[in-house]
Amino acid sequence: MGQQQLWYILLGLIVVAIAVSLGIVLYREHAIDQKRNNVINDCVHLAAIAQQYYLKPREYGGGGKSFNHWEIPNVLVTNANGHYEITSIESQEVIILGTGNEVVTGDDSLKVEITIPSPPRNYQVTPYN
């Protein structure tokens, strides 16, 4: 083989290595975005359950216009997307923190916080990573 052909082979290997590296990075970023969206969806689902509790009269097992004594159902505390916990609960507001299973940087998992005010106001979703 000639010198020029060896350079072409080397150049081809470099281009392939760069393309594979870029593909891995893009796949990882997409996976993190997808996991973040899943955690946000789970938090919004928990927010809907909390608001149902808030609106349901005490006589029927609800909060009677209060979030006090509401708990995340045991089957929804941990799932394939992450772990969810109540960080603050007051009569008119609940804050839920969702921690995803996907590690973003080092040992830092993605985190999403959702604030559920008393109805009819909107949820406030805050992604941390």
Q: How many domains, in total, are found in the chain?
A: 1
pLDDT (mean) for 71-95? 94
Return the higher-pLDDT residue of 124 and 49.
49
Buried b (16+ CB within 10 A) or exposed e, 64-77: eebbeebebeeeee
pLDDT > 70 fraction of the chain, expressed in percent and rounded: 95
Find the domain containing 47 and state its range: 3-127
**Residue 107, pLDDT above cutoff 70:** no
DSSP 8-class letter at 121: S
Residues in the chain: 129
Single pTM value for the model = 0.81
Mean pLDDT of all residues in 95-124: 82
Planar angle of CA 70, 72, 74, nearest 5 degrees? 130
Average pLDDT over residues 52-68: 93
- The model's pLDDT over 21-37, given as tens digits with 9 standing for 90+, comes to 999 999 988 988 898 89
